[in-house]
Structure 1
C-alpha cells in the first residue's frame, strides 16, 4: 500500500506517541481533525496501524518484575511452507511475545516473558525444544533494559550537555 506524505507523517507521529490528541496531530500535519480521523481509520482498516502499545517498566512495580528471554532457534524448514509453519506453532504459545525470522547462525529469534528463570527453562525444555522442526536453542536472559522500542529507561537527572572548555 502506497501512503501519501501526510499519511506517513501521521503514522510516524503515532509511532512515537499513540496518545497524541487528534487536534495536536491535525495541527502538526496541517489537516482538519476529521481528515486526520479518516486517515487513521483507513490505516487501521488496512492493518498499516496494527495495534497501539504501552511500554511499561515492570521493574518499578513490586511483584511484577518477571524475566524476559531471547531464544535463538535453529529449525528444519518444511517443504512448501518454509519456516512459516514452525514460526506459527511457536507464536501461538501465550508466553511468546515476538518471533522473527533471522539471517545468520539461527533461523528464528523468539522473545518470551515469564515469572522466573525456571518458568522460562520449563518452556524451552517442555514446549519449544520438543517441536518436531526444532533442532537446537540458545537462551539469553535479559538482565536490564536500557532502551526498548525507542524508549530510554532510567535516564536519570545527569547533565548530558557537552563540556566546552576554552
Structure 2
C-alpha cells in the first residue's frame, strides 16, 4: 500500500470514508483499516482536527502566538522546557524554532485577560524561560489550508470621470 498517498489523502480530507480511501488507493477496505490503525499506533497519524471559524459563533475566543526565549539544559537541551510548556491545556501548539526566540507557542483562551494571566502566572515562571513576547491574533484568514474569512464582495470603486 502507498502509505504516503494515504497520508496525503487523509491530510486533505480526514473525514473521508474507508470505502472511498480503498477506491482511491486501489486496496481492500481491510488493508486500509489495518494500515491506518498502524499509522495511528505508531504516532505517524497524530490526530484529526476540525477547523472552526470562532468569529461566526457566539462564544468568546482569544488566540495568541507567543515567542518564548529559553535557556537550554546541559543534557536535555530544550526538551524539559518544552515538556513543561506542553502540559498546559491552553497550549494548542508548541514549536522549537530558529530565529530570535526558541519556541513558538499558540495559546487558546476565552479572553485576552485569560491569555495574559496564563502567560504571566504559568508560562513565564517555568524554569528555563527567559522571556516571552505575546501577539494576539486579531483575525484569521486561513487556517490549516482552509480559508475562513467570509465570502464578502470586494469593494468596487466608482469610476471617476472629469
| 1:75 maps onto 2:70 in alignment | yes
Paired with 2:140 and 2:153, the residues of 1 have a C-alpha distance of 18
- Note the residue ranges of structure 1 that are not aligned, 5 or more in a row: 160-166
Asked if the contact 2:60–2:111 (Cα under 8 Å) also holds between the matched residues in 1, the reply is no
Residue number in structure 2 paired with 1:21? 17
With normalisation by structure 2, the TM-score equals: 0.89
Alpha-carbon shift at residue 41 of structure 1 (Å):
1.5
Q: How many residues align?
A: 154
> Equivalent residue for 1:146?
141
CA shift for structure 1 position 155: 5.5
Question: Is the 2:140–2:149 contact (alpha carbons within 8 Å) kept by the matching residues of 1?
Answer: no
In the TM superposition, what is the alpha-carbon distance from 1:36 to its structure 2 partner?
Answer: 1.2
SS at match of 1:154: coil
User: Which position in structure 1 is the counterpart of 2:32?
Assistant: 36
How far 1:157 sits from its partner (Å)? Answer: 6.8
Identify the residue that residue 160 of structure 2 maps to in structure 1: none
Structure 2 segments unaligned to the other structure (5+ residues): 155-162
Structure 2 distance, partners of 1:137, 1:115, is 20
Alpha-carbon separation, structure 2, partners of 1:158 and 1:115: 30
TM-score (norm 1): 0.87
For 1:72 and 1:128, the matched residues in 2 are separated by: 11
Cα separation, partners in 2 of 1:20 and 1:158, compared to 1, 3 Å: farther
- Post-superposition CA distance 1:117-153 (Å, at most 9, x none): 1111111111111122111110001111111111111
| Structure 2 residue aligned with 1:127 | 122
Given candidates 25, 47, 50, the residue that maps to 1:51 is: 47
Cα deviation, residue 11, structure 1: 0.9
User: C-alpha displacement at 1:100, in angstroms?
Assistant: 0.5
Cα–Cα, structure 1 residues 70 and 10, in superposed 2: closer, same or farther, change >3 Å? same
How big is the alpha-carbon RMSD for the aligned residues of Structure 1 and Structure 2?
A: 1.6
Between the aligned partners of 2:89 and 2:44, the Cα distance in structure 1 is 24
